[in-house]
């Protein structure tokens, strides 16, 4: 018998990694006969399955004021504590209404008990989980101790309580082995590793005509060579290396396209990148305004194109991240059979590189050797095809929906005694 499953976060919208991965989990769970429902401060899901609470968004004005008062500071005023608990109380009422309205049997907090972008929501949810003993799979993408911006704070008490909470009815899931070890070391909490996945059993269906129209809407031509940076514009993505690569390739046909928006970390880096590219004479195209979530099923905020319309016409993918919890864009590039330049960030070195993928790899900086290899790949169709086919088969073994099904099957069996 299927369960009613409630996904909870600050946002389920757009193309950020947490939203995309939650959608994949929901897809696998719904195919197994479960019903999925959504609680967040921003939603683009079906209205009949959504519970929208604007105060639950990390950009909510009250929450932003709280964050400004507690991060980068050691002292927390009593008035700030009162604001935290006032918002916590409001959100707690809404969480109970969500659970009651959709008769939720199990909840899946997506990163909301992991990174403290919304402290009142994390506290409220922790209390609800403790009070109801509702089965919970807490899906953790990036912890607060992994981000410098949270290292100085006035909310250590709340971080220990709720980010993440240690409760008997929570199964914790992390996306890499380093996070698993660090979580156990810091909190004593055991966890299951479920890396990001993709539906490698079902190759992509590509609408080349729609992809061509998308590129032409930005003034790009079929003869242009598209270098795609398929990430948000945040500093840890190392996008300046992608700009340098296009500069070093030295061909005016080569155009750099960035598919996502600047995220929750400000817009200064995006402005700097634009100036940097202009100074090097690199044509930079920011296309996020027309790109939507490929898993979205509602007509809300409908965008003409999805991320899947960007990948097919890309000739090469750049992924020079300095740090990633796992790397969604890496799997997307493999899925669409595109060659990749990747920086050896720590999780890649530890969890991905040993699998044997064929990639152009840089180690913190771009050299002539990597530029030469990229040029050779772009100019040799036969070797490029061999490379991407090899990568697809490896990913199919290690990062498929079937792998996710098996892991979720194990976790649900712990709670309900039955498999997916």
116-146 pLDDT, tens digit per residue, is: 999 999 999 999 999 999 999 999 999 999 9
Helix axes 119-132, 78-101, angle to 10 degrees: 50
CATH of domain 208-398: 3.40.50.2000
pLDDT, one tens digit per residue, over 245-260 is 999 999 888 989 888 7
- pLDDT for residue 419 is more than 60: no
Select from 324, 338, 349 the least CA-distant residue to 391. Answer: 338
Are the CB atoms for 28 and 404 separated by under 8 Å? yes
Q: Which residue has the tokens 């504590």?
A: 81
pLDDT of residue 396: 94
Query: What mean pLDDT, rounded, does the chain reach?
Result: 90
If you count them, how many residues does the chain have?
420
- Whose CA is closest to 44, among 289, 309, 304, 292? 292
Angle among Cα 375, 376, 379 to the nearest 5 degrees reads 85
* Token code pair at residue 392: 């697809």
Task: Tell me the sheet residues that pair with 136.
Answer: 107, 170
- Write out the CATH class of domain 4-197+401-416: alpha beta
Cα 370 to its chain centre, rounded Å, is 27
Q: What pTM, to 2 d.p., does this model score?
A: 0.82
Residues 97-101: contacts with CB under 8 Å, at least 24 apart = 97/51, 98/6, 98/8, 98/37, 98/39, 98/51, 99/6, 99/128, 99/132, 99/134, 101/51
For residue 150, the 8-state DSSP code is G
Lowest-pLDDT range, 1-15, 136-150, 203-217?
203-217
Query: Is 208-398 the same fold as 4-197+401-416?
Result: yes
Closest CA to 316 of 227, 190, 246: 227
Best CA proximity match to 11, nearest among 47, 54, 48: 54
Condensed to tens digits (0 to 9), the pLDDT of residues 285-308 reads 887 655 665 656 555 445 566 777
Q: Which residue has the tokens 């199964």?
A: 171
Collapsed DSSP state (helix, strand, coil) of residue 43: strand
Is a pLDDT exceeding 90 seen at residue 74? yes
State what percent of residues in the chain have pLDDT above 90. Answer: 70
Where exactly are the structural domains of the chain? 4-197+401-416, 208-398
């Amino acid at each position: 018998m299927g369960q009613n499953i409630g996904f909870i976060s600050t946002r389920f919208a757009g193309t950020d990694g947490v939203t995309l991965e939650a959608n994949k989990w929901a897809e696998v769970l719904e195919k197994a006969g479960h019903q999925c429902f959504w609680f967040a401060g921003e939603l683009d899901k079906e209205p009949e399955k959504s519970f929208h609470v604007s105060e639950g968004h990390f950009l909510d004005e009250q929450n932003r004021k709280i964050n400004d008062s507690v991060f980068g500071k050691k002292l927390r005023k009593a008035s700030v504590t009162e604001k935290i608990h006032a918002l916590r109380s409001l959100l707690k009422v809404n969480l109970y209404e969500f659970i009651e309205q959709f008769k939720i049997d199990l909840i899946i907090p997506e990163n909301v008990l992991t990174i403290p972008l919304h402290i009142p929501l994390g506290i409220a949810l922790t209390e609800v989980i403790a009070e109801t003993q509702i089965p919970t799979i807490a899906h953790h993408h990036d912890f607060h101790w992994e981000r410098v911006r949270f290292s100085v704070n006035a909310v250590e008490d709340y971080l220990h309580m709720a980010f993440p909470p240690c409760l008997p009815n929570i199964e914790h899931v992390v996306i890499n082995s380093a996070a698993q070890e660090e979580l156990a070391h810091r909190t004593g909490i055991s966890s299951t590793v479920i890396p990001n996945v993709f539906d490698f059993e079902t190759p992509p269906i590509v609408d080349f005509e729609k992809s061509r129209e998308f590129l032409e809407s930005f003034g790009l031509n079929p003869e242009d060579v598209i270098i795609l940076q398929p990430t948000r514009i945040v500093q840890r993505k190392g996008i300046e290396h992608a700009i340098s690569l296009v500069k070093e390739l030295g061909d005016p046909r080569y155009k750099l396209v960035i598919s996502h928006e600047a995220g929750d970390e400000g817009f200064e880096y995006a402005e700097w990148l634009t100036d940097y590219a202009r100074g090097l004479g690199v044509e930079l195209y920011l296309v996020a305004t027309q790109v939507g979530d490929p898993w979205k099923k509602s007509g809300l905020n409908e965008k003409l194109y999805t991320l899947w319309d960007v990948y097919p016409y890309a000739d090469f993918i750049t992924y020079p991240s300095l740090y990633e919890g796992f790397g969604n864009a890496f799997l997307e590039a493999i899925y669409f059979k595109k060659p990749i330049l990747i920086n050896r960030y720590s999780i890649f070195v530890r969890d991905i590189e040993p699998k044997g993928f064929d990639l152009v790899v840089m180690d913190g900086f771009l050299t002539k050797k990597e530029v030469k290899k990229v040029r050779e790949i772009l100019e040799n169709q036969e070797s490029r095809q061999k490379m991407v086919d090899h990568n697809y088969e490896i990913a199919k073994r290690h990062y498929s929906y079937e792998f996710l099904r098996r892991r979720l099957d194990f976790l649900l069996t712990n709670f309900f005694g039955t498999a997916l």
